[in-house]
Amino acid sequence: MEFGSHGITVNAYAPGVIETPMMFGALPTEMRASFKANTPLKTFGVPTDIADFVSFIASKESKFITGQTISINGGLFFD
């Protein structure tokens, strides 16, 4: 928070299951089905879901958001 006076914001994101070859190559089919069934949105994220958030949080439109970790997981885990 010490950089706030300089207009610098610091935030993070915590991704859930994102549909990538690396993630899907590591998860057995049964586990993928379980994650999907237990996710309120009933779908997996895609890389553009993360990219869209990063684009927003790096923009001037998010200038009053700082010190946050944002979960991007379709509601699978609630903070």
pLDDT digits (tens, 9 = 90+) for 16-74: 999 999 988 888 999 999 989 999 999 999 999 999 999 999 999 999 999 999 999 99
Cβ neighbourhood burial of 9 (10 Å; 0-12, 13-18, 19+)? middle
Supply the pLDDT for residue 26: 87
Question: CA–CA separation, 17 vs 3, rounded Å?
Answer: 32
Q: Note the pLDDT of residue 19.
A: 93
Torsion of CA 16, 63, 1, 4, to 10 degrees: 160
What are the residues facing 21 on neighbouring strands? none
pLDDT higher than 80, residue 1: no
Distance CA 78, CA 31 (A): 19
Phi–psi pair at 2, nearest 5 degrees: -65, -15
